[in-house]
Amino acid sequence: MIPVKKSGAKYSAIVAISEELKKRQTAGEDILFLNRGINAVVNIDLSQVIPLIDFNSPQIQVYPPNNGHLHLRKSINQSFFHNKADIDNIFVTVGGMGALDLIFKSLQVSKVWLSENYWGAYINALKINNINQGFYKNFDEVLNNLEQFKDSALIICDPNNPTGNKLNDEYLLEVIEKLDKAGIIVIWDSPYRKLFFEWEEDDFYTKLLNFNNLIISESFSKSVGLSGQRIGFVHSTNKAFNEELNIKLLYATNGINGFAQVLVSKLLTTDVGKKAVSEFKRKTTEDIRKNIAYLNKKDFLAEEFYQNGNPIGIFVIANKSFDELLTKGIGSVPFSYFTTMPKEQADEYTRICVSVPHDDLRKFFDKF
Ligand SMILES: Cc1ncc(COP(=O)(O)O)c(C=O)c1O
């Protein structure tokens, strides 16, 4: 018998939904997969970028530096921080999940607080790392009860997964400033943001550099549509935290895939790369906007989730149940997978991915 160290974490229940939907498709049903968490309006066209990569170079063939290739860390500094960060504070990771796992492994906190509508994987990644979780309702509640959040960390995901809600940037910065002053660790995990912003104009991340208790967890899975490449990064200005993270990164990975790092770096720095990213973002966000406007007009959007912000995607909450949507061939995920709301109430809603071609979404929802 092999003795197993059980963490108590569960394999993603969403996978089972996806398998069930695929079965229906194989049996001949016309299915629209809005249960997924990827951008599916278009794929990023890499045909002009690949010829720029020298596959006979050490960058592709030899162990990369532990914290990531210098060229990639420099290009992340340029694209996210307008060159204002210290590249020694940037650590390339295995996507966003790898970034979060390293952060959870390296942080000494009594609890990690999640928003009441949260990405389910946080719970399992925390469980594997033996960290308790709590839930916050909104930032007003947090700021009025700062004592309760001492010795802990709080995750901010904006635009939010699952709701797609985006809060005002100035408000977010005010909240972060107060948390930072109170010594509460903020984990900024917002991998959807950069899809919706012009990177050169967006100075939000540069402003985040002012906060010593803030850790950024990022990913290129959504913003450039490369979830297959598994590239993300962590940024923190805290020396002791970075030292520990760097050690954990070494023994978890021995360096991150060289090809993927070169590819992302080319996307961020070369003209053809930037053009590919910009086209991908333009086409993707255009259809996301159309889809949300359409759902809103047809009263499919659960407006109650957008009272303090705006639905921008890539997900929204629909006011239809999983079964109701499935009668029209639409795959979704019951909202109860993502919320502290009582199950019977949550099951009246679903999380749907709106990053799909507008004509497809329209065709299926017009069946109602
Ligand atoms: C909020 C959030 N954080 C992190 C991640 C993980 O990113 P990655 O796919 O790069 O591991 C996801 C992926 O769905 C996510 O939704």
Task: Please tell me the predicted confidence (pLDDT) of residue 13.
Answer: 78
pLDDT in tens, 194-210: 999 999 899 999 999 99
Nearest-CA neighbor of 292 among 303, 276, 278? 303
Q: Count other Cβ atoms within 10 Å, centred on residue 217.
A: 27
Task: Please tell me the predicted confidence (pLDDT) of residue 15.
Answer: 86
Amino acid at position 193, single letter = R
Q: In what order do the strands lie in the sheet with 350-353?
A: 315-318, 350-353, 333-334
For residue 3, the CA-to-ligand 1 centroid distance in Å is: 31
- Find the mean pLDDT for residues 165-171: 98
Residue ranges of domains in the chain: 13-44+274-365, 50-272
User: Atom 16 (ligand 1): residue with closest C-alpha?
Assistant: 161
Task: Please tell me the predicted confidence (pLDDT) of residue 56.
Answer: 98
Name the pairing type of β-strands 132-136 and 152-156: unpaired
For residue 137, the CA-to-ligand 1 centroid distance in Å is: 21
What burial letters (b/e) apply to 69-80, b meaning 16+ CB within 10 Å?
bebbbbbbbbbb
On the 0-12 / 13-18 / 19+ scale of CB atoms within 10 A, 140 is exposed
Taking the alpha carbons at both ends of the chain, their separation in whole angstroms is 54
Our answer on whether the CB atom of 221 is closer than 6 Å to any ligand 1 atom is: yes
Which CATH architecture is the domain 50-272 placed in? 3-Layer(aba) Sandwich (3.40)
On the 0-12 / 13-18 / 19+ scale of CB atoms within 10 A, 272 is middle
CA distance 203 to 223: 16
Task: Please tell me the predicted confidence (pLDDT) of residue 174.
Answer: 98
Task: Please tell me the predicted confidence (pLDDT) of residue 306.
Answer: 98
- Find the mean pLDDT for residues 163-183: 98
The residue behind tokens 């860390």 is 73
Task: Please tell me the predicted confidence (pLDDT) of residue 12.
Answer: 80
Our answer on whether the CB atom of 189 is closer than 6 Å to any ligand 1 atom is: yes
For residue 181, the CA-to-ligand 1 centroid distance in Å is: 28
* Predicted confidence (pLDDT) at residue 340 exceeds the cutoff of 90: yes
For residue 95, the CA-to-ligand 1 centroid distance in Å is: 8
- Find the mean pLDDT for residues 107-113: 96
* Predicted confidence (pLDDT) at residue 337 exceeds the cutoff of 90: yes
Name the pairing type of β-strands 214-219 and 231-235: antiparallel
Do domains 13-44+274-365 and 50-272 share one topology? The answer is: no
Q: Could you please state the CATH topology (level 3) that the domain comprising 13-44+274-365 is classified under.
A: Aspartate Aminotransferase, domain 1 (3.90.1150)
CA distance 1 to 89: 44
For residue 57, the CA-to-ligand 1 centroid distance in Å is: 30
Return the C-alpha torsion angle 173, 174, 176, 179, nearest 10: 170
The H-assigned helical ranges of the chain are 13-26, 58-61, 70-81, 95-106, 121-128, 139-144, 169-181, 193-196, 204-208, 220-223, 239-253, 258-269, 271-297, 322-327, 343-346, 358-365
Task: Please tell me the predicted confidence (pLDDT) of residue 179.
Answer: 98
User: Sign (positive/negative) of CA torsion 17, 22, 25, 30?
Assistant: positive
- The answer for residues whose C-beta is within 8 angstroms of residue 242's C-beta and 6 or more apart is 88, 89, 91, 236
DSSP state of 44: -
Our answer on whether the CB atom of 232 is closer than 6 Å to any ligand 1 atom is: yes
* Predicted confidence (pLDDT) at residue 326 exceeds the cutoff of 90: yes
For residue 279, the CA-to-ligand 1 centroid distance in Å is: 22
Mutate to test the pocket of ligand 1, among 188, 219, 233, 234 (most ligand atoms within 8 A of CB): 219
Q: Which helix (H) or strand (E) holds 155?
A: strand 152-156
Our answer on whether the CB atom of 164 is closer than 6 Å to any ligand 1 atom is: no
Our answer on whether the CB atom of 38 is closer than 6 Å to any ligand 1 atom is: no
pLDDT in tens, 220-275: 999 999 999 999 999 999 999 999 999 999 999 999 999 999 999 999 999 999 99
Average pLDDT, the chain: 97
Q: Are 111 and 131 in contact (CB under 8 A)?
A: yes
User: Atom 12 (ligand 1): residue with closest C-alpha?
Assistant: 96
pLDDT bracket for residue 11 (50, 70, 90): confident
Nearest-CA neighbor of 89 among 255, 249, 242, 232? 242
For residue 262, the CA-to-ligand 1 centroid distance in Å is: 21
Task: Please tell me the predicted confidence (pLDDT) of residue 14.
Answer: 84
Amino acid at position 268, single letter = L
CA 353 from centre of chain: 13
